[in-house]
Amino acid sequence: MTVLLVLAMFAIFLTIDYFYSKAKHPVLQTAPAMTKHAAAPPIKPSLVGGFSVPENLRYHPGHTWALSESPSLVRIGIDDFASKLAGKIEHITLPQRGQWVRQGQKIWSLVRNGAKVDMVSPIEGTVSDINESLVNDPSLASEDPYGEGWMVTVQSPDAKTNFRNLLGGALARWWTEESSMRLQRLVPNALGALAQDGGVAIDDVASTIPDEQWVKVTREFFLT
């Protein structure tokens, strides 16, 4: 029920954000093309509720992000909230190249302490490349979720429409703040791990959550 209420509120704000963005801001953010060995372009930081929310990305409410490298090529990954909630990831299962994924569909899995949770894709299209460095070193997802910890790139023929369904600007910041407060209500022990004075949340918020509760909590926030 909580998830349904939150999603309903999200839909209302998304409608407002759509018309506002259409009138004043471009929908599609574009970054320089990135090769397998090239460093990710710098991300503009913005701290909300103890978590980094870069201004030049668009976000899915399941805590994944998207950044366009061209009109149809989109790089995606997990946001800072997800990386800290996931904690010390032991293994990541990425989709295969050539696999078609839908927006909001499960796309990769994270394993911590032997427990697995899925996450959803912020974009629809065909997986064109995967971050092999991340497969070999899952800690990149926690250490640099917006840079070297990116997950996959997707060829999205209708990227412009897909981006309209994502969160950006004030709405993305509101969503992150709401997620932070909701986590504190669900897991009181996480209170000390989250910033109360505008600071940064600890890297491993998951360490404050009992193992038997971790999967349930992450599934609620990752919408899986």
Q: d(Cα 49, Cα 200) in Å, to the nearest integer?
A: 8
Measured N-to-C along each axis, helices 2-24 and 169-186 cross at an angle, to the nearest 10 degrees, of 160
Query: CA triplet 94, 177, 189: central angle to 5 degrees?
Result: 80
The predicted pLDDT at position 6 comes to: 52
Taking CA atoms, 107 is separated from 48, 89, 118, 134, 224, in Å, by: 26, 16, 7, 15, 11
- Give 28's pLDDT tier (boundaries 50, 70, 90): very low
The predicted pLDDT at position 139 comes to: 95
Residues 88-126 pLDDT 10s: 999 999 999 999 999 999 999 999 999 999 999 999 999
- Give 50's pLDDT tier (boundaries 50, 70, 90): confident
Of 175, 217, 216, which Cα lies nearest the Cα of 193? 217
What CATH architecture does domain 2-32+43-170 belong to? Beta Barrel (2.40)
Q: d(Cα 36, Cα 163) in Å, to the nearest integer?
A: 24
C-beta of residue 108 within 8 angstroms of C-beta of residue 92: yes
Residues 55-92 pLDDT 10s: 999 999 999 999 999 999 999 999 999 999 999 999 99
